[in-house]
C-alpha cells in the first residue's frame, strides 16, 4: 500500500504528527510494532507542562529558564523557546480534541508541581494523564482518516541518494517483508530505555529499533549517553511510580525515617540520592501517610490500586518501597527541530535529539515535547510531500531484509535469546547506569560485542511463520545491541559528569565538554564518536577507529 506520509510510532508524537499531516486528499499511515495503547506515552502518568495563558510572557519565560537550567548546558534555546511558547496552544488543542484535564475549584485546568519546576505548571488527568491523552488522540486520528498499520515491525528505511522513499517492514501475522512507499516519513518510535530490561519502566518492546534504523540509514545519533533514571519504581518489577505522587506532596524517606533529598529536585539529583542510600545499605520509601486520604484517592487512584496489587499495601497507611529505574532517553537522532539530514525524513518525540532536554529532562516536559514537535513534524511532512512524486524503492535493502528473516528461520540454535536480552539489561544497568566509570564501560562494551557476535547465530525454534514471537524478539535483540554500543561509546567519550550522566572517575562538569557527542556507524560494529564542534564531521566516513581505548 502506498501513502503520502508514513509515521513510525503510535505515541503522542506520532499521533499528533498524523493528525497534523492528514488533509482531505492525502493518505497518512501510522505503523506500530504492537498494540496502540502500549506506548510509553500511555504510561506517562504525571502530566504535561504548560503555561496556560499565552499572554503570560513572564511565566513562559520561567518555563524556558527552568528547562534550560535542567538541561545542564546542552539545551537548545531556539528549540526550548518554541516548545514552551507553543505549550498553551497545544493544551488548548488537546482540550478541543476532548482531553478532560482535572479542574480546580473555579473550573479552570488544575496544575501541580513537578521536578525541576519553580511553579505549578503541570496539567494532569489524575495519575493517568498519558493514557487519557492517547485515547483521545487515537479517536481523533481515526476520525480524520489516518490509517493504522498495527503489529508491524519497521526494519529499515529506503532512500534514493539522500531522499527518503519508503519503509521496509515485517508483518507479524505472516512474517512477510513488505514495503510502504512514501513521499515523506516521520520517525516517532519512542526511546531506548527498554534496553535496560528488568531495570526499566519501559515496555519490553522498547528496544531502540528506531535508533538502529537511523544508524543503518547513515544518520548521526546525538548525546546517547544521557539516559534518565526515574527516582521511583516498584522494587519488585520496576513499574513506574508517577512523579505525580511527589507533586501531590509525598515524601521520600530512608529506612531510618529520614527525608534525605528535595523530592521535587531534578530527576538526576533525586535518583542519585536514592541510589546512594541503597548502596549504603538502607532502603528507600515513598511516604504518603500525611496526605488526606481523599486527596490520594482522587489525585492518585492508579498508584493506590497498583500499590495494593503489586505490593499488597494501602499507601494511605503504609510506606511503599521504591528504587530508581531507567526511564527516558534524552539522546537520539540528530534533528534540527524536526528535520533530519535526509530529505523528506523527520523525527520527533523521544527518538529525536533536538535540544529540548539537553542532558536532563524536566518532569512533565516529555508529553509536551512529543505533542509540540509531533505537530510540527506533521506540518513539515505535509508541506514537503505536496506536489512531489514517489521515489524508487531500493530493493537491495528489501532483499537483504528478506534474506535476514529467512536466515533466522532456516537453521536451529541452542542459544537462549531471552537470556541474552535479560543479561544485556543487567549489564547496562550495572555498568552504564546511574553511576559509570571507564572500567565498567569497557566491561559492558566487551560483553555487548560478544553478545552481538552471538546474536548472529540465533534462529527460531518454532518454524511457523504466523505470529512468530521469536522472530521479532531476535530482531529486537540485534537492534538493542547495536544501540547499546552507541550508548556506551558516547558515555566513555564524555569524561565528565553532567546531568543524567554521572562518572565516578570524573565526578565534576568540565566547561570544555559543554557540547554534544555524536555517533556515526561506519559499518557494522564500527563507530566513530566525536564532539559536535570538533571539525571531524567530514572525515568520519574515511576511516574506522577503535573508540574505547584499551
Task: Point out which residues pair with 498 in neighbouring strands.
Answer: 501
Distance CA 320, CA 329 (A): 26
C-beta atoms surrounding 53 within 10 Å: 10
Q: Given the DSSP bridges, would you call strands 526-531 and 122-123 parallel, antiparallel or unpaired?
A: unpaired
Task: Point out which residues pair with 154 in neighbouring strands.
Answer: 169
Distance CA 51, CA 57 (A): 9
Task: Point out which residues pair with 346 in neighbouring strands.
Answer: 186, 339
Hey, what's the cell of 514? 559543554
- Maximum separation of any 2 CA atoms in the chain, in Å: 67
- Cβ–Cβ < 8 Å for 217, 156: yes
Active-site residue list: 267
| 42 CB-side CA count, 13 A | 16
237 CB-near residues (< 8 Å, 6+ apart): 310
Q: The cell 559528569 sits on which residue? A: 497
Task: Point out which residues pair with 29 in neighbouring strands.
Answer: 6, 147
Q: Given the DSSP bridges, would you call strands 284-287 and 517-523 parallel, antiparallel or unpaired?
A: unpaired
Kind plus residue range of the DSSP H or E element containing 147: strand 147-149
> Helix, strand, or coil here: 293?
helix
Cβ-count burial 261-276 (b if 16+ within 10 Å, e if not) = bebbbbbbbbbbbbbe
In 3D space, the residue among 414, 406, 542 whose CA is nearest the CA of residue 475 turns out to be 406
> Helix, strand, or coil here: 177?
strand
217 CB-near residues (< 8 Å, 6+ apart): 156, 157, 159, 342, 345
- Cβ–Cβ < 8 Å for 441, 212: no
Distance CA 101, CA 79 (A): 26
Q: The cell 482531505 sits on which residue? A: 24
Amino acid at each position: 500500500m502506498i501513502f503520502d506520509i508514513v509515521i513510525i510510532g503510535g505515541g503522542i508524537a506520532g499521533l499528533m504528527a498524523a493528525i497534523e499531516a492528514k488533509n482531505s486528499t492525502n493518505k497518512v499511515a501510522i505503523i506500530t510494532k504492537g498494540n496502540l495503547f502500549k506506548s510509553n506515552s500511555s504510561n506517562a502518568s504525571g502530566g504535561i507542562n504548560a503555561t496556560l495563558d499565552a499572554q503570560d510572557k513572564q511565566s513562559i519565560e520561567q518555563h524556558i529558564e527552568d528547562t534550560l537550567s535542567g538541561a545542564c548546558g546542552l539545551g537548545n534555546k531556539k528549540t526550548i523557546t518554541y516548545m514552551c511558547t507553543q505549550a498553551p496552544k497545544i493544551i488548548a488543542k488537546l482540550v478541543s480534541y476532548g482531553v478532560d484535564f482535572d479542574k480546580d475549584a473555579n473550573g479552570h485546568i488544575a496544575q501541580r508541581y513537578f521536578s525541576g519546576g519553580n511553579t505549578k505548571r503541570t496539567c494532569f488527568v489524575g495519575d493517568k494523564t498519558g493514557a487519557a491523552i492517547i485515547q483521545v488522540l487515537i479517536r481523533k486520528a481515526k476520525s480524520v482518516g489516518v490509517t493504522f498499520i498495527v503489529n508491524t515491525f519497521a526494519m529499515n528505511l529506503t532512500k534514493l541518494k539522500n531522499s527518503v522513499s519508503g519503509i521496509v517492514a515485517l508483518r507479524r501475522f505472516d512474517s512477510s517483508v513488505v514495503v510502504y512507499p512514501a513521499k515523506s516519513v516521520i520517525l516517532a518510535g519512542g526511546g531506548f530505555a527498554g534496553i535496560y530490561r528488568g531495570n526499566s519502566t519501559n515496555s519490553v518492546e522498547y528496544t531502540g529499533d528506531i535508533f538502529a534504523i537511523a544508524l543503518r540509514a547513515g544518520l548521526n545519533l546525538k548525546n546517547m549517553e544521557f539516559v534518565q533514571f526515574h527516582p521511583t519504581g516498584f522494587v519488585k518489577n520496576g513499574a513506574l511510580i508517577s512523579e505525580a505522587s511527589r507533586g501531590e506532596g509525598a515524601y521520600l524517606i530512608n529506612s531510618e525515617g529520614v527525608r534525605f533529598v528535595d523530592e521535587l529536585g531534578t530527576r538526576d539529583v533525586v535518583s542519585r540520592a536514592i541510589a546512594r542510600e541503597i548502596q549504603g545499605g538502607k532502603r528507600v520509601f515513598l511516604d504518603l501517610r500525611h496526605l488526606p486520604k481523599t486527596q490520594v484517592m482522587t489525585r492518585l487512584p492508579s498508584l493506590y490500586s497498583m500499590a495494593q496489587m503489586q505490593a499488597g499495601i494501602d499507601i494511605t497507611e503504609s510506606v511503599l518501597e521504591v528504587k530508581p529505574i531507567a526511564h527516558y532517553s534524552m539522546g537520539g537522532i540528530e534533528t534540527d527541530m524536526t528535520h533530519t539530514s535526509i530529505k523528506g525524513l523527520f523525527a520527533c518525540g523521544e527518538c529525536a535529539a533536538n535540544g529540548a532536554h539537553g542532558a536532563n529532562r524536566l518532569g512533565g516536559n516529555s508529553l509536551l515535547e512529543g505533542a509540540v514537535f509531533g505537530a510540527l513534524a506533521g506540518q513539515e511532512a505535509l508541506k514537503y510531500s505536496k506536489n512531489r512524486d514517489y521515489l524508487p524503492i531500493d530493493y537491495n535493502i528489501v532483499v537483504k531484509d528478506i534474506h535476514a528473516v529467512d536466515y533466522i528461520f532456516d537453521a536451529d540454535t541452542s542459544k537462549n535469546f531471552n537470556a541474552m536480552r535479560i543479561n544485556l539489561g543487567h549489564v547496562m544497568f550495572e555498568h552504564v547506569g546511574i553511576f559509570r566509570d571507564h572500567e565498567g564501560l569497557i566491561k559492558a562494551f566487551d560483553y555487548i560485542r560478544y553478545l552481538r557476535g552471538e546474536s548472529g547465530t540465533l534462529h527460531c525454534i518454532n518454524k511457523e511463520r504466523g505470529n512468530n514471537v521469536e522472530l521479532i524478539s531476535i530482531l529486537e535483540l540485534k537492534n538493542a545491541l547495536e544501540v547499546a554500543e552507541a550508548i556506551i561509546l558516547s558515555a566513555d567519550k564524555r569524561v565528565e559528569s553532567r546531568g543524567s550522566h554521572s562518572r565516578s572517575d570524573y565526578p565534576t562538569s568540565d566547561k570544555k565538554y559543554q557540547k554534544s557527542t555524536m555517533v556515526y556507524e561506519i559499518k557494522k560494529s564500527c563507530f566513530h564518536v566525536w564532539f559536535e564542534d570538533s571539525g571531524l564531521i567530514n572525515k568520519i566516513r574515511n576511516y574506522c577507529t577503535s573508540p574505547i581505548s584499551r
